[in-house]
Amino acid sequence: EVNASGEDMPTYIVGTEAQFPPFEIVDSRGKVVGFDVDLLNAIAEDQGFKVQYLDQDFAGLIPALQTGNIDIIASGMTITEEREQEVDFSEPYITAGLALAVPINNEEIQSVDDLQGKTVAVQTGSTGFMKAEELKEAGGIAEIKDFPHVNEAIEELKIGGADVMINDLPVTEAFIAAQPDVIKIVGEPLNSESYGFAVRTGNTELLQKINTGLENVKASGQYDELLTNLPKY
Ligand code: GLN
């Protein structure tokens, strides 16, 4: 198959941790779907390349990109200065931020000021994890428990193994929408973060395609359409 420039369509392998609704989730047929997937598919179509998704743990995504096992990360990944040292990010494609969540019956923790001596559940390698480490160093929290997937962190809250979870707000909201009786969000968001697609450092050709495609998909109105059709978890 050839693209509009008459080249053979390249296929890029996309790494994602597909338990992160509404950005990526495995549907009932075992297919990876979600906003990141829809957006990258639209970019790929615009730019004449193909994508193939590989579901794997979040903490392994950057190493997999660096060793060449994958070509793109599309995984609700926050653009951070530390990660900029290891990968190249696209222009930001959406804004999110971290928020606290507690078991539904907890009335004690209302904000980040109430975390003294508490145990925090986070996803391994996430910005929530980094925020927890920062709060721990500042003497704010006692213990961090990290899990490969957000639903496992939520499970830990449920069984009383942790007092509070730090996670991306839209994702916690998606879990709550699916299961309203387990946890609730408390306090204000802790920060604002931007997600980007990541490629190997120096892979400017692919980065250019992603950035141009993103611009086109925004300009055409397709981006807004995708945002209004987020998958339900
Ligand atoms: N946005 C967070 C981060 O980049 C969490 C991403 C995720 O778990 N998929 O660390």
Q: Do domains 11-95+194-228 and 98-186 have the same CATH topology?
A: yes
Which residues have CB under 8 Å from 67's CB, separation 6+?
none
Q: How confident is the model at residue 230, as a pLDDT? A: 86
Residue 194 C-alpha to ligand 1 middle, in angstroms? Answer: 10
| End-to-end Cα, the chain, rounded Å | 34
Q: How confident is the model at residue 140, as a pLDDT? A: 87
Q: How confident is the model at residue 231, as a pLDDT? A: 78
Residue type, 136: K
Q: Is the CB of 146 under 6 A from ligand 1?
A: no
Q: How confident is the model at residue 161, as a pLDDT? A: 98
Question: Mind listing the pLDDT tens digit for each residue in 85-116?
Answer: 999 999 999 999 999 999 999 999 999 999 99
Atom of ligand 1 minimally distant from the CA of 150: 8
Residue nearest to atom 8 of ligand 1 (CA): 126
Residue nearest to atom 7 of ligand 1 (CA): 76
Residue 225 C-alpha to ligand 1 middle, in angstroms? Answer: 23
CATH fold for the domain made of 98-186? D-Maltodextrin-Binding Protein; domain 2 (3.40.190)
As averages over each run of 10 residues, the pLDDT of the chain (233 residues) reads 81 98 94 97 98 97 98 98 98 98 97 96 98 94 97 97 98 95 97 98 98 98 94 74
Q: How confident is the model at residue 5, as a pLDDT? A: 73
Give the integer Cα–Cα distance in Å for 125 and 193.
Answer: 15
Residue 136: CB atoms within 10 A of its CB come to 15
CATH fold for the domain made of 11-95+194-228? D-Maltodextrin-Binding Protein; domain 2 (3.40.190)
Q: pTM value?
A: 0.95
Domain positions in the chain are 11-95+194-228, 98-186
Q: How confident is the model at residue 79, as a pLDDT? A: 98
Mutate to test the pocket of ligand 1, among 23, 32, 78, 166 (most ligand atoms within 8 A of CB): 78
